[in-house]
Amino acid sequence: MNRINQKLQEDRKLLSIYFTAGFPQINDTVSIIQELEKNGVDMIEIGLPFSDPLADGPTIQESSTIAIENGMTTSLLFEQLKDIRKTVQIPLIIMGYFNPMMQFGIEKFCQKCAEVGIDGLIIPDLPLFVYETEYKAIFEQYNLKNIFLISPQNSEERIQQIDAISDSFIYMVSSAAVTGSQSGFGSAQMDYFKRISNLNLKNPQIVGFGIKDEETFEQATKYQKGAIIGSAFINFLKENPISDISKFIDSIIKKSRA
């Protein structure tokens, strides 16, 4: 069974952390992954930096720019991750945009993911129809879960389509804003979380965009299986050493897992 599906079966709310590969320093990728797992994170989204990140707010855009300036490439990421499964057991997901994957070669990219132990991909700009008709078979050949995004603007019909083709979890965007721009969840967002929960989809949902502390993590997981933190963690890495990651994670989940 894919590691993502195994993790989703656990009887607790899941914390997924996003960071940009090659940020803050070019060779920080493996150390950050190991430190996150050691401190109780359930899944990790490794951002593949791209020069035109549509859904990312200024914090993640800046981290991508720095990572690219540091020299991060797709090939280098796979080189950094080649031995990651000797030390790390939790699910690892690459989040990135389709252009760099196409440039690398889709099947070659999927093959390298399988070789290093990547469990899934989040590609915000890969349309559902294109995935289904052109790439689904390749992803499945390499046991990669393709994780689709839904937002408050999606119709129920569209959400049901995404649920039907998905086979792990659905990335539930909390609002129409870009990443890192929220300051907490209001009644409209909580109503949205509840509405999606009431659809009883076959795939659990994990909420992203706007989760930054214990309060927003608890709000985001009231009705959903888990939550993703990206911009707040990138900001932490700007100001703190990797060895202090435990402080950040404890501030989110320590009470809930005591």
Give per-residue pLDDT as tens, 123-180.
Answer: 999 999 999 999 999 999 999 999 999 999 999 999 999 999 999 999 999 975 544 4
192 — pLDDT class (breaks 50, 70, 90): very high
Q: Is the pLDDT of residue 53 over 60?
A: no
Element (H, E) at 192: helix 187-197
Range from 194-198, 245-249, 252-256 carrying the lowest mean pLDDT: 252-256
Respond yes or no: is residue 250 known to be catalytic.
no
Average pLDDT estimate for 237-252: 96
The CA distance from 219 to 50, in Å, is 31
Please identify which of the residues 28, 35, 42, 45 carries the catalytic annotation. 45
CA 213 to chain centre: 17
The average pLDDT across 208-226 equals 94
Q: What's the pLDDT band for 254 if we cut at 50, 70, 90?
A: confident
Check 28, 35, 56, 163 and give the catalytic one: 56
β-partners of residue 145 are: 120
- The average confidence (pLDDT) of the chain is 93
pLDDT at 100 over 80: yes
pLDDT, position 56: 63
pLDDT at 248 exceeding the cut of 80: yes
**What residue type is assigned to position 128 of the chain?**
L
What is the reported pLDDT for 178? Answer: 46
- To the query of whether residue 163 is one of the catalytic residues in this protein, the response is no
* Token code pair at residue 225: 């299986």
